[in-house]
Amino acid sequence: MTKSLVVVESPTKAKTLSKFLGSDYVVKATVGHVKDLPENDLGIDIEHGFRPQYGLIHGKKRIIQELKKAGKDVAKIYLAPDPDREGEAIAWHIREVMDGNNRRFYRVLINELTRRGVLDAIQNAGPLRQGLYEAQQARRILDRLVGYKISPLLWREIKRGLSAGRVQSVAVRVICERERDIWAFKPKEYWTVTASLRSRRDLEPFRANLSKIKGKKPEISSREEVEEIVRNLESVHFVVRKIEEKENLRNPPAPFITSRLQQEASQKLRFSPKKTMRIAQDLYEGIELGDEGPVGLITYMRTDSPRVSTEALQAVRRFIHNRHGKAYLPPKPNVYKSKKGAQEAHEAIRPTSMDYEPEKISQYLTSDQRALYRLIWDRFVASQMVPALFLRKSVEIEAGETIFTVTGSVQKFPGFMAVYTTQKDREETGEEEKVFVPTLIEGETLELLPPLEPEQHFTQPPPRFSESTLVKELEEEGIGRPSTYATILSTIQDRGYVRFNKGRFHPTELGFLVNDLLVKSFPSLLSVAFTAKMEDVLDAIEEEKIDWVKAMEDFYGRFTRSLQRAETRIPELKKEATTTSLVCDECGSPMVIRWGRKGFFLACASYPECRNTQDFVRNEEGEVVVRKTPEETGQICPDCGSSMVLRQGRFGEFYACSQYPRCKTTKTKHLDIPCPREGCDGFITARRTRKGRTFYGCTSYPKCDFALWNKPVDRPCPQCGAPFMTEKSTRRGPVIVCATCKSRS
């Protein structure tokens, strides 16, 4: 009994740990969760304290047998899944399935996969954390109750395959409400006035903007108003009244937490949150660095705390001093405050060692890994540098009853900006640095170079959410947690509730329908405030301040009452038609939007007297427009060279030649997921069997016969790395399952 067993969830992580622990330890991987609630049953004994009925996940029997065999003759078993709620649940379930003596099991929390980090974690191993496990269990049960009870309503009343989620549905609501704000927005006209001026001592002209009229901010709403102001200004003197020079400090940003990493990676690298987290997981679990073997390059990537260890602070300060010089190093380390409710268990996301500069290990990283590692490295280094120093010069120029202003900035010392700038830094300093401000004297009269330049503007509607701004919105509203943002954004797209087009989220008609039905039927459950409060409840369970069963009882009582009302209300709400501004071209009645078995369509409000129907689309302003021609695809017909258009058939959408019926060429519309068969250049597409059952196969058939029943989802498996997962239908709704390792996302 000399060896010890260490159990992790990832094979990559197991390989990295084995390198550091040596021959005295056996390291095994579970490849994700080993137990979960059943797929085709609620799996919760509501009458007996919401007791979950966990079962072994399909395909994990062999893994459990290997764990039992490996742990049979060892004195200690170290449970080292990720140091978060999901990892804690894996640890508890491993202990349960191994039927071991509780005294042999120790919980290991590894924040960084380095030799020092791993050995320290083993040395400081402790008991399993019950509060963390119960918080995960409560979240899992909450989500199961909501999904299992509501999804069948959507299946029955709208179409099979839909689902509702406690958090995802609120995210869809946020996007739908923003879209309706955009549609309802009424632009307002306003005008600005710019004057070209110059000093009689300095002939180079500069531009100043009208900033005050009679001491107040100007509100010019019509051409008549601005023309009168311009006429009055043509006969007055422009006199320099006030010159102000001030040094401004711009402080460095905090090191990354999960949400900020996702936002910056989206803005700077155009990475989706899902992609960012997948790459960060690779960097955390270990990258092969040649002869050195696998090395964890960053600390744990799911955190909402900017805390940094003393050792890491000392290391980065030495790096800054040696690389950039004493002038860039503050006298003391910069300390950043956590937001309210942040969990302090993990450090910020940072490099595990300052020895692994991005340039030194670049050859071992993919281009995406290099980009994200560089982003994390630069942000961490910048966070411990001195502020940037700017000289801001502002000049007020009096002209009759008006004031014109010109403001510009000059960078005197780059500080942290020598290494890293945020989007906010670039926006706030970029424009001012472009402005020319000459050397002027208070009291001098300036020459006006006519004409004055009035310019018409219109207020803009609120922007649609990008991936970055949606993550920010969810974070600020307390919806979800750092570990869930990427999954939320993926799920709402996979379900067809929103589409991501030109970098922005747009609700689909299906998303609007489901959202409206759920919001009207479950107003509390779908409220942002309630969802944020439930996250606080889960945090309190984790801290063992609230009993998780009591929290479930409080939730389920309200939820059951809402569910009973929804059983009768959703069918009624679904029948409601949305009136449009369009008129039936056959009888003159209004056209309304209805839902049918093939989706949304325009129908005459006088049905059944008038049976006129049409397809429609919405423009950017949300207006309903009749779709008169098939949608262009940008593809070219391989037979006649004409453009291909998107059409709707019995079995879904397909590409057809625009010259039909003269040219009858068609092409299958695929899912943009490459066929996994080695050497195959086809894509996966939906097909039908002779009996009409849908399956998914390769577009290169019959050359390639790859096929599967479940719909592929463009989401790599977080456990085994398979290029895509699949959507499996169960009685409680669809679940995302890996076709290779059977783990669920």
Catalytic member of 54, 106, 284, 300: 300
205 vs 438: CA distance, rounded Å: 8
Query: Of 127, 39, 43, 36, which Cα lies nearest the Cα of 89?
Result: 36
Asked if residue 8 lies in contact with residue 108, where contact means CB atoms within 8 angstroms, the answer is no
What's the CA gap between 507 and 493, in Å, rounded?
A: 9
Q: Which residues contact 190 (CB under 8 A, 6 or more apart)?
A: 219, 220, 221, 456, 457, 458, 459
Contacts of 520 (CB under 8 A, 6+ apart): 569, 573
CA-nearest of 405, 432, 397, 393 to 211 is 405
The whole-angstrom separation of Cα 81 and Cα 58 is: 20
CB atoms within 10 A of CB 394: 16
Q: How far apart are CA 87 and CA 110, in angstroms?
A: 11
Tokens 């669809």, residue located: 734
Going by C-beta distance under 8 Å and a sequence separation of 6 or more, which residues neighbour residue 492?
A: 168, 171, 172, 175, 498, 511
Question: By CB neighbour count within 10 A (0-12 exposed, 13-18 middle, 19+ buried), where does 634 fall?
Answer: exposed
Helices (H), 637-699: none
CA dihedral 700, 703, 706, 712 (to 10 degrees): 0
Sheet holding 4-8, edge to edge: 25-29, 4-8, 77-79, 105-107
Using alpha carbons, select from 143, 21, 153 the residue that is nearest to residue 80.
Answer: 21
Output the CA torsion sign for 429, 505, 715, 150: positive
DSSP state of 268: I
Contacts of 730 (CB under 8 A, 6+ apart): 39, 40
Report the alpha-carbon distance of residue 67 to residue 539 in Å, rounded.
Answer: 32
The region, left, alpha or beta by phi > 0 then psi within -120 to 50, assigned to residue 168 is alpha
Q: 471 near 198, Cβ under 8 Å?
A: no
C-alpha to C-alpha distance for 566 and 525, rounded to whole angstroms: 12
Report d(CA 630, CA 17) in Å as an integer.
Answer: 56
Residue 300 catalytic?
Answer: yes
At 445, is the secondary structure helix, strand, or coil? strand
**What separation in angstroms does the CA of 710 have from each of 586, 680, 715, 737?**
43, 20, 14, 9
Active site residues: 300
